[in-house]
Structure 1
Amino acid sequence: MLGAGFAALVADRAALTATRTFFTSGRPLDPDDPLAEENLRPSLDAAGWAPTCYEDAPRQFLARAVRIG
């Protein structure tokens, strides 16, 4: 089960994606964004999740992981 903090982070990222798409025509994520792939994968690993899919297209965001153990 995902923690409330992670769910809130994903919801915030969805809102950011919608805003980014509307205002910036889908420019790349800032490297400091916690849901940028290079930041998200190590965070998931540290929390016991194995990333299985990552997609950050201009009009959608998908990060999927499975629980380890």
Structure 2
Amino acid sequence: MQLTQILAVLGLAAAATACNPGEWSCGNQNDAPGPDGAIFICNNLGRWTFSAQCGAAHCCVQSTNTAAHCSC
């Protein structure tokens, strides 16, 4: 029973690792969480971290996985 619980926890931790450290993304894109118009960076643990909120949902612009910025 304990082994099953440990494996379940490890599986959830692996599922939460959705990015490569140093990547940037707009909210709700490239597996990053929301909200729309937000900028997220992948931390050293491989998890998306909120960085900034742009002026509106359409204002986050992502040119590559290593560059995202607010346009308004």
TM class by smaller structure: under 0.3
Larger of the two Rg values belongs to structure: 2
TM-score by length of 2: 0.26
Q: Which has the higher strand share?
A: 2
Q: TM-score, normalised by structure 1?
A: 0.26
Which one has the bigger helix percentage?
A: 1
